[in-house]
Amino acid sequence: MTDTTESLTSMDFHPRPEAGVAKPWAFPAPERGTLDNGLTVLRCHRPGQQVVAVEIFVDAPLDAEPEGLDGVATIMARALSEGTTERGAEEFAAELERCGATLDAHADHPGVRVSLEVPVSRLPKALGLVSEALISPAFDADEVKRLVDNRLDEIPHEAANPGRRAAKQLYKELFPASTRMSRPRQGTEETVRAIDAGAVRAFYDAHVRPAATTAVVVGDLTGVDLDEVLAGTLGGWSGKPAAPRPMPPITADDTGRVVIVDRPGAVQTQLLIGRIGPDRHDAVWAAQVLGVYCLGGTLTSRLDAVLREEKGYTYGVRAFGQVLRSDGEGHGASMLAISGSIDTPHTGPALDDLWKVLRTLAEGGLTDAERDVAVQNLVGVAPLKYETAASVAATLSDQVEQHLPDDYQARLYARLAETGTVEATAAVVSAFPVDRLVTVLVGDAAEIEEPVRALGIGEVTVVS
Amino acid sequence: MPMGHTATAEAGSGGLTATEHRLANGLRVVLSEDHLTPVAAVCLWYDVGSRHEVEGRTGLAHLFEHLMFQGSKQVHGNGHFELVQGAGGSLNGTTSFERTNYFETMPAHQLELALWLEADRMGSLLAALDDESMENQRDVVKNERRQRYDNVPYGTAFEKLTALAYPEGHPYHHTPIGSMADLDAATLEDARNFFRTYYAPNNAVLSVVGDIDPEQTLAWVEKYFGSIPGHDGKPAPRDGALPEVIGEQLREVVVEDVPARALMAAYRLPEDGTRACDAADLALTVLGGGESSRLHNRLVRRDRTAVAAGFGLLRLAGAPSLGWLDVKTSGGVEVPAIEAAVDEELVRFAAEGPTAEEMERAQAQLEREWLDRLGTVAGRADELCRFAVLFGDPQLALTAVDRVLDITADEVREVAAARLRADNRAVLVYEPVENEADGADEAGDAADRDDAEGADQ
């Protein structure tokens, strides 16, 4: 085409530019303190961040939920913002939104997290409301019943979502049925139905107290007397001292096998392949982060290079490590997983390719070039990733709930830069051994069962 | 002034500034300096979206956006992704009805690389575009469609609603993802022609925001983009103008394998860039934004007939905007009960308007959203491009929040009375098949999947 030729030649081409001189950047170091009531505070001034983020972590883990009441931590977390002894649920929500604030509260294995974001000028007001919620929640019987019913309504939506359905099955497969970790974080229909205001109040009384709480405050704090703000809010909370709760050991059965969750007529198969691995306290973590990125961190990583960019089987497959819980004593664990969606007819060939990618990696290892690009990305994106107050607060709060030192993230970047190709290879290969992976496939069993069996990647069972 | 409050000491622009420049080939450039963090965002908006597509070629703009990441004259295959990520940057591209955007957020010292990469593909994409990448990305995009729309409950709701709300033949009748049949039918020659027609410097706006030296940045922009020839072969998009109200209630009932009944509706609203659109935004916020909205209070808290209830606004400049109602029913509740309650609330709101307190809340929420959007270099770069492309003036991005705060309760009531009416909506009802077994944010279909990781139950 003549037009084509014209557009190929009509601009001036220049050689690819070299990078300028990097400017120093470091993950922010918070200042740690304790209020008189035992509540821990981490604060961090971030110039220019007009929306302040407050992350509050309460050491009220899911394994503390009473037998048969899975989900009570979730209902309690949600009920915190549904009315206090001073104001009803509607007024509470209205007052928060009047501040331009957003509030989220949820329960996970390590504990309850309450996240507030608000323009700095309205921090005292909004933090006052959040404190009110923590100090004097109403837990009105009718409001709790509403939250229980609402939660029951959510469950079928989750079951219909392929990603959520796959996760539920994987946890059930990996962890012993007797452990909390094997069961849905927010409870099942049966357990949620059993929750009432009394159960919520009992969980609160047993676990929610200032001595078990850490608040992380990040943002542009110029002109804010944070000590005064805290004294007038969270500082007014009183409660008994809290003893740290011992964490139950985490074990998992990662015998290589395949579970197909039948979803007749599905045009894609949702895949989730996982097992458990070490937490961030383990010296291997940095190398594992690096190796897992090379395997499946982005669309130029090994998995997508084949499954997406060569074969077109998927919009994208990712590998990741996600800490489940840590106690800082070496008993923690993370979920190591590969997830993505494959069109139904290519499910067998895609899994075959995925296993080939893992085998090739185990046999030949990573290249130095792969390792270098990964380090440059993981370390280089830090200033972008931590531009907002919310992202800094979330990471600091993760460190708190995982019993990590406050400078963990800063040191992780240094560790990543020191980690070599051999170390990264060893870490990712031991993270994803081909015979120790539990594969969950949410898809059309009639279409995918036979091709998957033929792969010989483990015993195949079909559930509905 | 009943609503004099602002969250920042300095409202509106918050002290931000932007400068505008134009190269000889027509490329408009917007620069905004901010040295808080050593990062720089590059954003490039091409004035082409799914509204420019022709019959039989829906999805072409978005498929083409994927092809922009498949190499150009000096950049091999996936080199664009590799180079940006290897420099510690992040990147993506998205396609909507009215535009296609490409963006890189870089450590400040790597800014020049991002400019070089964008210029290389603007000027020489066709040197690398071949059948192999076309066939591969066609499959990737079809899988994107399956993953985000076809394989999730209610996944095609937005597609159905826009098809109802904008008549057959209207440029916004179809969504950016396109149909499977059209994706199959697209040819390499279609893609080449698309590039020749729309990917020209005079059909684009480039913004660079962050820790930059404006003079140096402009010199780099001139060096890399300056020699790319402009051309004027772009046909005007088909007219998107429509009467202010639909004039009747349109309705479609879908019986599908969904977990619960749902009531969705699309209301025809004023075009983006008008006071009336900002007023509509506030009306939808009072009625269905957040946990203190009228619909949430009525349906979720009091009647307890819904799991979730809310309103969203899709701002459009070249056609009426869309107010999107989404209610998922609770337990065995039937849709007519929900519909009656929604109508009651809308009628009352149209008659009485918002209370002073509701206005204050809604304005505080929208102000906060603006603070978030302008609070990152990437968000600011995108907004500067948006206002430059759609309204001809990037400075409007920096004062957008002032305009929202300037709206009165009367204007909010007026727009609600005029537009949030039964004869101005397309209704979509979901009924589950037999017993039981989120609507997506449709702003854009992206080149790369969302990197959010996790496997929560």
Same domain, A189 and A132: yes
Longest distance between any two alpha carbons in chain B, whole Å: 66
Name the DSSP letter for residue B186: -
Same domain, B106 and B205: yes
Same domain, A171 and A310: no
Arithmetic mean of pLDDT, A233-245: 90
DSSP, collapsed to helix, strand or coil, labels residue A344 as helix
Q: Tell me how far apart the alpha carbons of residues B133 and B154 are, in angstroms, rounded to a whole number.
A: 31
Same domain, B312 and B433: yes
Same domain, B179 and B298: no
Alpha carbons within 13 A on the beta-carbon side of A263: 27
Kindly list the residues from chain A whose CB atom is less than 8 angstroms away from the CB atom of residue B65.
none
Inter-chain CB proximity B297 and A23 less than 8 Å = no
Residue B212, CA distances (Å) to A172, B33, B41, B349 in order? 51, 6, 9, 48
DSSP, collapsed to helix, strand or coil, labels residue A11 as coil
Closest CA to B191 of B81, B65, B290, B88: B65
pLDDT at residue A16 above 90? Answer: yes
| Residue A26 belongs to some domain of the structure | no
Same domain, A139 and A273: no
Alpha carbons within 13 A on the beta-carbon side of B254: 23
Q: Could you give phi then psi for residue A254, rounded to 5 degrees?
A: -105, 30
Same domain, A181 and A315: no
The answer to whether the beta carbons of residues B111 and B89 sit under 8 Å apart is: no
Sign of CA dihedral A289, A291, A292, A297: positive
Kindly list the residues from chain A whose CB atom is less than 8 angstroms away from the CB atom of residue B120.
13
| Residue B10 belongs to some domain of the structure | no
Inter-chain CB proximity B448 and A299 less than 8 Å = yes
Kindly list the residues from chain B whose CB atom is less than 8 angstroms away from the CB atom of residue A150.
300, 307, 330
Q: How far, in whole angstroms, is CA B40 from its chain's centroid? A: 22
**Count of domains in chain B?**
2
DSSP one-letter string for A209-234: -GGGEEEEEEE--TT--HHHHHHTTG
| Residue B115 belongs to some domain of the structure | yes
* Spatial CB neighbours of A452, under 8 Å, sequence gap ≥ 6: A258, A260, A347, A348, A351, A441, A460
Chain B nearest-CA distance from A35, in A, is 28
Q: Tell me how far apart the alpha carbons of residues A437 and A459 are, in angstroms, rounded to a whole number.
A: 11
Q: For every one of its 457 residues, what pLDDT tens digit does chain B have, with 9 covering 90 and above? A: 333 344 443 334 457 899 999 999 999 999 999 999 999 999 999 999 999 999 999 999 999 999 999 999 999 999 999 999 999 999 999 999 999 999 999 999 999 999 999 999 999 999 999 999 999 999 999 999 999 999 999 999 999 999 999 999 999 999 999 999 999 999 999 999 999 999 999 999 999 999 999 999 999 999 999 999 998 888 988 899 999 999 999 999 999 999 999 999 999 999 999 999 999 999 999 999 989 999 999 999 999 999 999 999 999 999 999 999 999 999 999 999 999 999 999 999 999 999 999 999 999 999 999 999 999 999 999 999 999 999 999 999 999 999 999 999 999 999 999 999 999 999 999 999 975 443 333 446 777 765 554 566 6
Q: Tell me how far apart the alpha carbons of residues A305 and B81 are, in angstroms, rounded to a whole number.
A: 12
Same domain, B327 and B294: yes
Catalytic residue, chosen from B65, B98, B144, B367, is B65
pLDDT of B339? 97
The answer to whether the beta carbons of residues A282 and A402 sit under 8 Å apart is: no
Same domain, B203 and B254: no
A243 touches chain B (CB under 8 A): no
* Spatial CB neighbours of A238, under 8 Å, sequence gap ≥ 6: A37, A210
Q: Tell me how far apart the alpha carbons of residues B456 and A337 are, in angstroms, rounded to a whole number.
A: 11
Range of the domain at B365: 250-446
Sign of CA dihedral A283, A339, A187, A141: positive
* Spatial CB neighbours of B79, under 8 Å, sequence gap ≥ 6: B71
Domain boundary pick from B225, B240, B263: B225
Range of the domain at A146: 31-236
Q: What is the 3-state secondary structure (H, E, C) of chain B?
A: CCCCCCCCCCCCCCCCCCEEEECCCCCEEEEEECCCCCEEEEEEEECCCHHHCCCCCCCHHHHHHHHCCCCECCECCCHHHHHHHHCCCEEEEEECCCCEEEEEEEEHHHHHHHHHHHHHHHHHHHHCCCHHHHHHHHHHHHHHHHHHHHCCCCCCHHHHHHHHHCCCCCCCCCCCCCCHHHHHHCCHHHHHHHHHHHCCHHHEEEEEEECCCHHHHHHHHHHHHCCCCCCCCCCCCCCCCCCCCCCCCEEEEEEECCCCCEEEEEEEECCCCCHHHHHHHHHHHHHHCCCCCHHHHHHHHHCCCEEEEEEEEECCCCCCEEEEEEEEECCCCCHHHHHHHHHHHHHHHHHHCCCHHHHHHHHHHHHHHHHHHHCCHHHHHHHHHHHHHHHCCHHHHHHHHHHHHCCCHHHHHHHHHHHCCHHHEEEEEEEECCCCCCCCCCCCEECCCCCCCCCCC
Q: Could you give phi then psi for residue A413, rounded to 5 degrees?
A: -65, -40
pLDDT of A242? 79
Inter-chain CB proximity B455 and A159 less than 8 Å = no
How far does chain A reach from its first CA to its final CA, in angstroms? 55
CB atoms within 10 A of CB B9: 11
Same domain, A298 and A345: yes
The answer to whether the beta carbons of residues B390 and B382 sit under 8 Å apart is: no
Same domain, B380 and B288: yes
**Which amino acid, B158?**
F
Q: Tell me how far apart the alpha carbons of residues B383 and A406 are, in angstroms, rounded to a whole number.
A: 35
Instruction: Give the model confidence (pLDDT) of A385-422 as tens digits.
Output: 999 999 999 999 999 999 999 999 999 999 999 999 99
Q: Tell me how far apart the alpha carbons of residues B449 and B147 are, in angstroms, rounded to a whole number.
A: 10
Same domain, B51 and B126: yes
| Residue B240 belongs to some domain of the structure | no
Same domain, A202 and A346: no
pLDDT of B457? 66
Q: What is the 3-state secondary structure (H, E, C) of A443-458?
A: ECHHHHHHHHHCCCCC
Inter-chain CB proximity A376 and B120 less than 8 Å = no
Q: Tell me how far apart the alpha carbons of residues A445 and A60 are, in angstroms, rounded to a whole number.
A: 40
Same domain, B293 and B415: yes
Same domain, B72 and B198: yes
| Residue A21 belongs to some domain of the structure | no
Inter-chain CB proximity B140 and A383 less than 8 Å = no
Instruction: Give the model confidence (pLDDT) of A166-214 as tens digits.
Output: 999 999 999 999 999 999 999 999 999 999 999 999 999 999 999 999 9
Same domain, A63 and A110: yes
| Residue B310 belongs to some domain of the structure | yes
Q: What is chain B's Cα-based Rg?
A: 23
Same domain, B174 and B263: no
What's the pLDDT band for A260 if we cut at 50, 70, 90?
A: very high
The answer to whether the beta carbons of residues B41 and B105 sit under 8 Å apart is: yes
Instruction: Give the model confidence (pLDDT) of A416-452 as tens digits.
Output: 999 999 999 999 999 999 999 999 999 999 999 999 9
Q: What angle do CA B217, B218, B224 make, to 5 degrees?
A: 90
The alpha-helical segments, DSSP class H, found in A268-367 are 285-296, 302-307, 347-364
Tokens coding B244 = 């202010």
Same domain, A204 and A347: no
| Residue B326 belongs to some domain of the structure | yes
| Residue B239 belongs to some domain of the structure | no
CATH number where B24 lies: 3.30.830.10
The answer to whether the beta carbons of residues A115 and A107 sit under 8 Å apart is: no
| Residue B343 belongs to some domain of the structure | yes
**Which amino acid, A141?**
A
Q: Tell me how far apart the alpha carbons of residues A245 and A243 are, in angstroms, rounded to a whole number.
A: 6
Q: Which residue of A has its CA nearest to B109?
A: A20
CATH number where A161 lies: 3.30.830.10
| Residue A243 belongs to some domain of the structure | no
Partner residue opposite A19 with nearest CB, options B37, B87, B127? B87
Q: Tell me how far apart the alpha carbons of residues B10 and B371 are, in angstroms, rounded to a whole number.
A: 12
Q: Which residue of A has its CA nearest to B201?
A: A11
Domain boundary pick from B190, B209, B225: B225
The answer to whether the beta carbons of residues A307 and A340 sit under 8 Å apart is: yes
**Count of domains in chain A?**
2
A96 touches chain B (CB under 8 A): yes
Burial of B4 (0-12, 13-18, 19+ CB in 10 A): exposed
Same domain, A187 and A262: no
Name the one residue in this structure whose structure tokens are 């676990």: A207
For residue B328, what are the β-bridge partners?
Answer: B262, B308
A308 touches chain B (CB under 8 A): yes
How far does chain B reach from its first CA to its final CA, in angstroms? 49
| Residue B84 belongs to some domain of the structure | yes
Inter-chain CB proximity A267 and B367 less than 8 Å = no
Domain boundary pick from B225, B242, B261: B225
Tokens coding B139 = 């499959």
Q: Could you give phi then psi for residue B92, rounded to 5 degrees?
A: -175, 180
Please give the ipTM for the structure prediction. 0.94
Give catalytic status of residue B65 as yes or no: yes
Same domain, A308 and A226: no
The dihedral region occupied by B173, where left means phi > 0, alpha psi between -120 and 50, and beta the remainder, is: alpha
Same domain, A379 and A434: yes
What's the pLDDT band for A85 if we cut at 50, 70, 90?
A: very high
The answer to whether the beta carbons of residues B39 and B107 sit under 8 Å apart is: yes
Residue A104, CA distances (Å) to A208, A268, B105 in order? 17, 32, 28
Inter-chain CB proximity B301 and A146 less than 8 Å = yes
Kindly list the residues from chain A whose CB atom is less than 8 angstroms away from the CB atom of residue B89.
380-381, 384
Whole-number mean pLDDT of chain A?
Answer: 96
Inter-chain CB proximity B437 and A373 less than 8 Å = no
Chain B nearest-CA distance from A354, in A, is 17
Across the A:B interface, residue pairs with CB atoms under 8 Å apart total 284
Same domain, B72 and B186: yes
Same domain, A356 and A416: yes
Quickly count helices (H) and strands (E) in chain B. Answer: 15, 12
Alpha carbons within 13 A on the beta-carbon side of B285: 27
Closest CA to B240 of B316, B159, B322: B316
Instruction: Give the model confidence (pLDDT) of A331-388 as tens digits.
Output: 899 999 999 999 999 999 999 999 999 999 999 999 999 999 999 999 999 999 999 9
pLDDT of B438? 39
Q: What is chain A's Cα-based Rg?
A: 24
Q: Tell me how far apart the alpha carbons of residues B328 and B295 are, in angstroms, rounded to a whole number.
A: 12
Q: Tell me how far apart the alpha carbons of residues B353 and B366 are, in angstroms, rounded to a whole number.
A: 18
Same domain, B39 and B183: yes
* Spatial CB neighbours of B332, under 8 Å, sequence gap ≥ 6: none
Q: What predicted TM-score, i.e. pTM, was given to this entire model?
A: 0.94
Q: Could you give phi then psi for residue B119, rounded to 5 degrees?
A: -65, -40
